[in-house]
Structure formats: structure tokens, C-alpha cells
Chains A and B, each alone.
Chain A
């Protein structure tokens, strides 16, 4: 075998190896993004559970508003990222209203259960923030991978394109601003 053929083979091998590594890197990032999105779901669900319990504790002070709040924070199956953002904002609003109830009415606000739920809701909020940041951090790394040359060539071949960051829709946040 001539030296030229050997060099060409080695170069080809390097290129193929690099393509495989790049594809694996992109796929791995896609999996990490899916995992991070699932983390957001877990945090939202956890937050919904805690809010539901808080609504139950304060139901006699809320009346019909309880059902309206409950409906606005309901998690639905197969939500898009934007819908998740809107639900997160609705939950945040409901949370503020519930905490205001706790401050206005001494009865539910002073119970141990309500206080524990207040702590739990702060914790779930922190988990949700963390899940969002993990997601956005992964998206940032993934997008950098997709747009930077020569990775962008491989990304284009396998159809990997830039993805949107997770952000809370400010207009949706205004929609659920309910007053007692």
C-alpha cells in the first residue's frame, strides 16, 4: 500500500471518528435537555401539589376563587415549553395570593400546616428555578454546539437546530392576576 493511500485512510478515519464523536455529543446534549425539561415538569407538579394543599387549608377564606385558581394552575399533558412557562407564572401568582391570605387572616396563617406549606412552597420554587437554569444552561451549550463551525456541519446533517430558552411569558403572567 502506498504511503499516500495510508495517509488518506488515516485522515478519513480521523474525520469519521470526529463525526461520530460530534453526533454523540449532540445526541447526549439532546438527552440532557429532555431530562432537564422533565425536571421542570417534576418541579411544576410538586409545586402544584403544594399549592393544592394550601388552597385546601385556606378554602373557607377563598370561596369560589379557589376553583378559579385551581383551574389556572392545573398541569396538562404534553404541554409546550411556553405553556409550561405560563403555568409556572400562574402558579407564582396563585402562590402570592395564598401567602397574602395567610397574612390577612390569622386563622389559616397561624396553623402549623400552613406554615409548613409556606416553607414547602419556597422550596419547590427554588427547585423550579434550578430546573429552569439547568435547562437553559444545557440549551446554551447545545446551541453553541449547533452554530459553531465545524460542528454546525454535522448538526445540519442530522437535523439538529437551535432551540428556544425557557422563559416566563410576561403577558400570560398578567392574565392570571386575580384580586380578592
Chain B
């Protein structure tokens, strides 16, 4: 069978955010899935402008007032995405007194995020880290406060972003023989079904593999696809290091029929999920 094998190197998540948090006392709150919500928030803060830009064209944000709010948050999000070292996650219940975050009182200060707000309890009382759509919602609440919007407006926008990002999101857990674990999440535009992010996380970082998929899944003419839509993510074998996803590309203005794409993740010798190497294999047509 003719197969196309490609390897891609990934860019890691926003390093200053992680370093700042290592120094600032952030970290995991539970043994299970520790650090995941922090990683998801780091991704959300770094990528929020892109999500806001796409969401602005969606029916969920059609209202003129929402558009104005969205614009205000986007301006803040864009500025803040360039200085994520000014955000710190802090474990101090007394300091926050129930608040999700504290904004800096002076320009040079840190934005402090309440660690416990990133691990809310679900209906059964269990602690659950924020997933990526929820982290995007958290980021919207954070920057809407900084943009000076009323908290009710911020919450409304936050709920809409969570719905926007989770409408076509899929998640699959990765657990390689108990050696290393992580999560694979696929986020897609609810209206166009185009992929917005293909996120792989271990306990420390979140990386977006979508650029690697774009590079691997080119059009027949060799050019990158104008749009890429991925769906129906699932593992293909035990151990679950191999995944399958259905892919459709838009080439020269029209969508091509969906095809199966396979990819594999690896564990490193230190028993963490390797986020730097990815093998994407496209099944022959």
C-alpha cells in the first residue's frame, strides 16, 4: 500500500507562562490529571485572539452589542497573549476569597489566577480540571474584566465561547500501557466544521498539532489545503498510541471527499508523552 509518511516538529506552548508559574508557586492540585487545567489555560490565553476572530462571524455572536464586547475583549486578549509571563496561577484561598482571579492594581503587576477556580467540582463532587473550551471561557471572563466590561456581560460572552468551542469538540484519552498519559482534543468551527485546533496535552504542556496536519495533508497539486476539517477522532489499536481521524480538505475552492488519516504519539523515556514528534500517515486513495 502506498503511504505517505511525514514527520513534524512541534512548537511547545508559551514558555514564559510555565516558567512564571514554576516560580510563582503554581502546580497541580490533584494527583490525577495534575497540571492539566493550567496547561489548558496557557493554551487558551495564547490562542484566544484566534478563537475570538473566528467566533465573531458565528451566529452566536450576531448581536451588535456582543460584537462590540467581543472587539473590546479581543484587543485586550491580543495584547495579553504577547505577555503571558504577567499571568500567575496562585494557590492561596485566603487571598482570593472565592474570586476566580485578581487583576493587577498597577501596570507592572501580575494578573493572579486562583488555582482552585481551574479545578471546579462537578455534580458528583469530584474535582475536574477545566477542559480547553472551558479554559477559553475562563480567559474571556478574565480579559473582559480587564477590558472593563460588567461581570454579567463577561459571563454571557464566556458561556457563548464555551458553547462555540465545544459544539464540535472531541476528546480522546491517551494512555500508553500506563507508561504515559495525556489527552487529544479536536476543536472545530461549529458553522463551517473547519478545524480550529488539534491539541495534545501531557500533564505539563498543550501543543497544537494542526499545523502538522496542514503540512501533511496537502492538496493533490502539492499546495496546502485552503481549509482543513477533521472529525471522528479515535484510537485504532491497543496500546492506544495510534489514532485515526477522518479528514476533508478544501482544494481549489471545493471540498474533497473525506479520507482516513492515521497518526501516532510516543512516550519518552522519562514516561511523559512526547509532544515534539508526530507521525502522520495518510491512507492511499
Partners in one complex: no
